[in-house]
Amino acid sequence: MSTATELSPPPSPAAAQAAGSGRWWSLVVLAMAQLMVVLDATIVNIALPTAQADLGFSDASRQWVVTGYALAFGSLLLLGGRLSDFFGRKRMFLIGLVGFALASALGGAANGFEMLIVARILQGAFGAALAPAALSLLSTTFTNPTDRGKAFGIFGAISGAGGAVGLLLGGVLTEYASWRWCLYVNLVIAAIAVVGALMKLQDEKITDRAKIDVPGAVTAIVGLVGLVYGLGKAETDGWSAAATLTPIIVGVVVLVAFVLIELRVPHPLLPLRVVLDRNRGGSYASIGIAGAGMFGIFLFLTYYLVGFLGFTPIQTGLAFLPMLGAIMLSATTAGSILTPKVGPRPLVPVGALIAAVGMAFLTRLDLDSTYASGVLPGLLIIGLGLGMVFAPTQNAATSGVEHRDAGVASAMVNTMQQIGGSIGTALLSSFAASAATNYATGKTPSALVEAQAQLSSYHTVFWWSCGFFLLAALVSVLIFRNGPLDVDPDAPKAMAH
């Protein structure tokens, strides 16, 4: 929505009502785009075994279908966020949507491993333009605290639920159509979103077109690629391998150089004022740590459901649906109703603690546990907790930010979630492997010992995920400020109050 000046007359009630309904339609468009980006992090996981059999690539190559997307997405987000502040959010949103759809079409039509990898990298790159543009459009469109709470509640619920939707949709499409439809489905979502964006999305005029910070962009991309790549290698090669340590060390060093550059350049890619605000800093930290914990649920609980309970891909997807319902419920109630009144400080720690309790509950799973008594209660508890984490943190991450920084503030949310997820996947995979090895050491090999070793590895992961959520609770209590979130500094006074 265009920013009015201080002197402009207040809109008429009819105009305000029309603008209001337009805004809620714009939320539908933005939520669809967000769903597409989040969904693509997991939907391909389900399709991978079939795609591998069809295209004939090795197990070692398989992880690059996932990592290629994560690398491009995670490393280009900050640049994508800044470009949306520079060229206009709606324009970058449309470029991201169309590019993502075309990359998905390329992947769906892949005739070999190389073509599939190129498509996944392009998906990640266009996703990095799309995700920050969507969140920053949401932030600048909903400036009234009450409406903003509702909008971020819905958006947060979709962000939290997208991964599980991806598992279900991936299962359905792989089983009844083809693994290729896990990519083609994005064409349908993107087509609807493009039409909606052209009809409903409003953007502000770009008044302050500062130069793009090239040294900052280069160091951010190299640093994040090094970090995400190294963490991906840790999962396959182990933590002590040179292939793991070298990129991680290079990544960290280059990211330190990035911060030093940002302190000195006149128009930084990531102005440190965006990160150093306590509420925004708290939300980035909470999202990163909770993101690490979340991967424990999706990845290892999926293994348990398939390996121990014999679930098909569709049953596995359906098994996560109650968690989705719980996320939706708490994000749209506690998240949207309470955030404008009390701010994130009481909500995020309580949500993280509830999620930790849910993870601890899953450590009781046994060889003869059932879904109804063993898995379902844990998923419901985790879902209720996650909804209270996602909606307030996404709101806080972009609240009180000047509109010229909205894109890059939004990009930081996705960057932290991506880095948290990469760290979580790498750490939890290595903890699981060593727990299974330790359990089996000294025991006579048998099917039972092997099953118990697997179970021991899942328990270890669930305890660590529980620890991540406890850490997120502690960090959010210490960093977040008390009280409601800041109002939009660029919104007209009439709208802010």
Whose tokens are 């009280």? That residue is: 483
Lowest mean pLDDT among 103-112, 120-129, 199-208: 199-208
Whose tokens are 């000294």? That residue is: 442
In this prediction, residue 265 carries a pLDDT of 92
In this prediction, residue 20 carries a pLDDT of 58
pLDDT in tens, 342-353: 999 999 999 999
Lowest mean pLDDT among 162-171, 456-465, 470-479: 162-171
Per-residue DSSP letter, 372:
I
pLDDT in tens, 164-210: 788 888 888 988 989 999 999 999 999 999 999 999 888 877 766 67
With bands split at pLDDT 50, 70 and 90, how would you rate the model's confidence at 493?
Answer: very low
Let me know how long the chain is: 497
In this prediction, residue 494 carries a pLDDT of 34
pLDDT in tens, 48-85: 888 999 999 887 788 788 888 888 998 999 999 989 88
Buried b (16+ CB within 10 A) or exposed e, 113-128: beebbebbbbbbbbbb
Residue 238, phi-psi category: left (phi > 0), alpha (psi -120 to 50), beta (remainder): left
Mean pLDDT of the chain: 87
Residue 110: CA count within 13 A, CB half-sphere: 27
Helical spans, DSSP H, in 265-295? 272-276, 278-295
Q: Using CA atoms, how far apart are residues 347 and 336, in angstroms rounded to an integer?
A: 11
Helical spans, DSSP H, in 177-213? 181-200
Q: Using CA atoms, how far apart are residues 456 and 434, in angstroms rounded to an integer?
A: 10
In this prediction, residue 453 carries a pLDDT of 95
Question: Structure tokens of 320?
Answer: 């996560």
In this prediction, residue 208 carries a pLDDT of 67
Q: What is the widest separation between alpha-carbon atoms in the chain?
A: 81
Question: Structure tokens of 260?
Answer: 């030093």
Q: Is the separation of the CB atoms in 286 and 348 below 8 Å?
A: yes
More confident residue, 157 or 349: 349
Task: Return the C-alpha torsion angle 477, 481, 482, 485, nearest 10.
Answer: -120
Judge whether residue 376 has pLDDT over 90: yes
Q: Using CA atoms, how far apart are residues 136 and 93, in angstroms rounded to an integer?
A: 10
Q: Which of 465, 483, 210 is nearest to 352 (CA)?
A: 465
pLDDT in tens, 288-340: 999 899 877 877 898 899 889 999 878 888 898 899 899 989 988 887 788 88
In this prediction, residue 336 carries a pLDDT of 77
Phi and psi torsions of 86, nearest 5° = -90, -50
The model's pTM is 0.86
In this prediction, residue 9 carries a pLDDT of 39
Question: Structure tokens of 294?
Answer: 């979340």
Taking the CA atoms of the chain, what radius of gyration do you get in angstroms? 22
With bands split at pLDDT 50, 70 and 90, how would you rate the model's confidence at 471?
Answer: very high
pLDDT in tens, 426-445: 888 888 988 999 999 989 89
Whose tokens are 């951010």? That residue is: 220
- SS3 assignment, position 401: coil
The amino acid present at 419, given as its one-letter code, is I
Sorted by where each begins, the domain ranges of the chain are 18-212+269-496, 213-268
Average pLDDT over residues 254-277: 93
Q: Is the separation of the CB atoms in 170 and 47 below 8 Å?
A: yes
With bands split at pLDDT 50, 70 and 90, how would you rate the model's confidence at 17?
Answer: very low
CATH architecture of the domain 18-212+269-496 equals Up-down Bundle (1.20)
Q: Is the separation of the CB atoms in 230 and 247 below 8 Å?
A: yes
In this prediction, residue 62 carries a pLDDT of 81
Judge whether residue 89 has pLDDT over 50: yes
Q: Which of 275, 274, 265 is nearest to 214 (CA)?
A: 265
Q: Is the separation of the CB atoms in 350 and 390 below 8 Å?
A: no
